[in-house]
Structure 1
């Protein structure tokens, strides 16, 4: 199964994040998406860092953005695999992050935010 065009996807993804447009980001995800992140472990009590479903992902990202009004991402590189993309970016705090996205068709079925320690 192919991924969407990597650079076009990353451009739309970062534009939505930098606009703080959660709905535009969510448009890239399946309704039954599974997403993991160490940030989710802090923001969503009891989640152990795993968020299941688009509605829960919306709640997580909306809550997280409320606490980060200066959020801004700079894409550094995009890597394409089979049914997967990795977006390497720098966040507003200067941290390096990889967003690992696994696709089912044109939409993300599973995502993982990974951070340089």
Structure 2
């Protein structure tokens, strides 16, 4: 895949996330994908911030969408190479200050196989 294809996956990711379309979001991921997030570490300490597989991703995002119906991400930049796309975005949710986020999506065979979130 070319870098622009990875950027397209990132754009699809934001579209699915911001409409809280769980099935479209999960369709972008490999069955055994891993996801690391500082929010996971806080909310579910037993995970140490790391979950694996689509069922764990489904549970995590469903909980987030249910708890935070106004949660939205505003992308500010994408940088892609042959293996990953680095995304920067602003996390907005009612009642909380906006947060600058960076996230790396590792992609192979057209699917996200790993994602790592970093908070600014």
When the two structures are superposed, what TM-score results if normalisation uses the length of structure 2?
0.88
Deviates more, 1:7-16 or 1:21-30: 7-16
Q: In 2 relative to 1, CA 32–4 (structure 1 residues): closer, same or farther, beyond 3 Å?
A: farther
What is the CA–CA distance in structure 1 between the aligned matches of 2:106 and 2:11, rounded to whole Å? Answer: 17
**Helix, strand or coil at the partner of 2:68:** coil
Which structure 1 segments of 5+ residues have no match?
none
RMSD: 1.6
Please show how residues 2-41 of structure 1 align to structure 2 within 5 Å: 2=2, 5-41=5-41
Measured against aligned partners, the alpha-carbon deviations of 1:18-77 in whole angstroms (never above 9, x if no partner) come to 101111111110000011001111233410000011111110111122221110111100
**Helix, strand or coil at the partner of 1:20:** coil
Q: How far is the alpha carbon of 1:4 from its aligned partner?
A: 5.9
The equivalent residue for 1:113 is: 117
What is the CA–CA distance in structure 1 between the aligned matches of 2:48 and 2:57, rounded to whole Å? Answer: 14
Would you identify which runs of 4 or more consecutive aligned residues in structure 1 move more than 6 Å?
none
What is the CA–CA distance in structure 1 between the aligned matches of 2:84 and 2:107, rounded to whole Å? Answer: 6
Task: Please tell me whether the aligned partners of residues 84 and 106 of structure 2 are also in contact (alpha carbons under 8 angstroms).
Answer: yes
The equivalent residue for 2:42 is: 42
Per residue, is there more helix in 1 or in 2? 2
